[in-house]
Structure 1
Amino acid sequence: MSPPDHETRAGASPADLVLASTSPYRRELLARLGIPFRCVPPPFDESAFPREGLAPRALAERLAEEKARSVAAIEPDAVVIGSDQLVAIDGEVLGKPGTPDRAIDQLARLSGRTHELLTAVVVTSAGGVERYLDRTRMTMRALDRAAIERYVAADRPLDCAGSYRLEDRGIALFEAIEGEDYTAIVGLPLIRLVTTLRGLGFLVP
Structure 2
Amino acid sequence: MKLILASTSPYRTQQLTRIGLEFERCAPNVDEDLFKQAGFTPETLAEVLALEKAKAVAQQHPQAVVIGGDQLVSFENRILGKPGTEELAIEQLLSMQGQTHLLITAIAVLGPDFLETHINQTTLKMRELSRTAIERYVRFDQPLNCAGAYKLESQGITLFEEIQSTDHSAITGIPLIALTSLLIKAGISIP
Q: TM-score if structure 2 supplies the norm length?
A: 0.95
Question: What SS is found at the alignment partner of 1:73?
Answer: helix
How far 1:165 moved relative to its partner?
Answer: 1.4
Aligned positions of 1:26-175 closer than 5 A: 26-175=12-161
Equivalents in 2 of 1:67, 1:75: separation in Å?
A: 13
Between Structure 1 and Structure 2, the one with more helix by share is 2
How far 1:50 moved relative to its partner?
Answer: 4.6
Equivalents in 1 of 2:103, 2:64: separation in Å?
A: 29
State the one-letter code of the partner of 2:120.
D
Question: What SS is found at the alignment partner of 1:49?
Answer: helix
Equivalents in 2 of 1:41, 1:86: separation in Å?
A: 18
How far 1:48 moved relative to its partner?
Answer: 3.5
Question: What SS is found at the alignment partner of 1:22?
Answer: coil
Q: Does the CA-based 8 Å contact 1:97-1:161 persist in structure 2?
A: yes
Aligned length: 191
- Counterparts in 2 of 1:83 and 1:57: CA distance versus 1, 3 Å: same
Question: What SS is found at the alignment partner of 1:134?
Answer: strand
Equivalents in 2 of 1:78, 1:202: separation in Å?
A: 10
Query: Identity over aligned residues, as a percent?
Result: 49
Equivalents in 2 of 1:196, 1:97: separation in Å?
A: 31
Give a deviation string over 1:13-48, Cα, whole Å, max 9, x none. Answer: xx1111100001111111122222111111322234
Q: Does the CA-based 8 Å contact 1:35-1:202 persist in structure 2?
A: no
Match of 1:8 in 2: none
How far 1:71 moved relative to its partner?
Answer: 0.2
Equivalents in 1 of 2:32, 2:84: separation in Å?
A: 16
Tell me whether 1:198 sits opposite 2:184 in the alignment. Answer: yes
Equivalents in 2 of 1:50, 1:173: separation in Å?
A: 27
Gapped runs of 5+ residues in structure 2?
Answer: none
Gapped runs of 5+ residues in structure 1?
Answer: 1-14
